[in-house]
A and B are shown apart, each in its own frame.
Chain A
Amino acid sequence: MFEQIAFYLFSILTIGLFLVTVFSNNILYAMTSLASGMVLIAGFFFLNGADFLGVVQLIVYVGAVMALYAFGMMFFNVTKTIKENNTSNVTVFVLGVSIALLMVLMFAAPISPEVIFVSAAPEPNATNPEAVGLVLFTKYLVPFEVAAVMLLIAMIGGIILAGKKMDQSLTKTDDENIIQKDIK
């Protein structure tokens, strides 16, 4: 009973918030609704018994990714509404039809029951974080290490990309140009 109420509440709210994200013309509205949608997505994970994944979703997505976007907002002019030319109807039509065909192919693809098997069953008497740790550090150890290296590379790349010419800001260079013009 409560599971059903929670599921329908979460799904309606998530879909509504993500619709706001996609169709909003204000970046701040879009970012805020995206963040709250992410919080509700964590609710789906808790409903499915994936406690650790839900906590990771809250910490990484809501905490880190949205904070990163919020910091990125400092560089963009977010107060003005976005004016954008909409894509032509022909493009939308062609893309929509081809994606629908792809979906039909995906759902109609034959799957034989023999190829579906449990590859990493959780430990019987372990809580979810324990079971996740046991599988992550045995069967998925190599992907875990590769993901760690990838995050390190992404961190270095982010610092180098965004930190380039960080000492001279856009507004400051404008001021300097104005001052130089005045001198001339």
Chain B
Amino acid sequence: MIGLNHYLIVAGLLFAIGLIGVIRRRNLLMLFFATEIMLNAANVAFAAISHYYNDLSGQMFAFFIVAIAASEVAIGLGLLILLYKKQGTLDLDDLATMKG
């Protein structure tokens, strides 16, 4: 029988994968992908909790997370395109222009 804990463990694992990506990768596009993974993990946890408590609030939060992720991608990709046109690279280490 699949219970709430199963879903929460999977969500935690997915979130950890996203977190590893954010810490380890240096490419900005890969950082965006890792962020999407983390948002999806949170959505899985919200949907599971919403099901097992018989409460729709979790699904509502998941909807708003999806909306926020969509707008984040729109703005973020615009910024990435500008950055790539200006610098020719997406590496985080090349962005340290404010280093004294």
Task: Point out residues on A near B: beta carbons under 8 Å.
Answer: 3-4, 7, 11, 14-15, 18-19, 21-22, 27, 30-31, 34, 37-38, 41, 44-45, 47-50, 52-53, 56-57, 60-61, 64-65, 68-69, 72, 75-76, 82, 84-87, 91-92, 95-96, 99, 116, 118-122, 131-132, 135-136, 139-140, 143, 147, 150-151, 153-155, 157-162, 164-165, 170
CB distance from A127 to the nearest CB of B (A): 12
Residues of B within 8 A of A (CB): 1-2, 6-7, 10, 13-14, 17-21, 23-27, 29-30, 32-34, 36-37, 40, 43-44, 47-48, 50-51, 53-57, 59-60, 62-64, 66-75, 77-82, 84-85, 90-91, 93
Residue of A nearest to B45 (CB): A44
Contact of B44 among A44, A60, A85 (CB under 8 A): A44
**Contact of A41 (CB < 8 Å), options: B26, B40, B57, B75:** B40
Q: Is the interface of A mostly helix, strand, loop or mixed?
A: helix
Contacts of A92 in B (CB 8 A): 23-24
The answer, among A30, A34, A131, A147, for a CB contact under 8 Å with B67, is A147
**CA A48 to CA B1, docked complex, whole Å:** 13
User: Considering the chains assembled together, what is the distance between the CA atoms of A13 and B84 in angstroms?
Assistant: 33
Tell whether, in the assembled complex, residue B14 and residue A27 are in contact, meaning their CB atoms are under 8 Å apart: no
Q: Known contacts being A4-B2, A68-B73, A143-B64, is A75 close to B84, with CB within 8 Å?
A: yes
Report whether over half of chain B's contact residues are helix, strand or loop; otherwise say mixed: helix
Q: Could you tell me the distance between the alpha carbons of A60 and B68 in the complex, rounded to whole angstroms?
A: 11
Known: A57-B43, A147-B67; 13 extra A-B contacts, CB below 8 A, are A18-B14, A18-B37, A27-B30, A44-B44, A47-B2, A53-B62, A53-B63, A61-B69, A68-B73, A75-B85, A119-B57, A135-B57, A165-B85
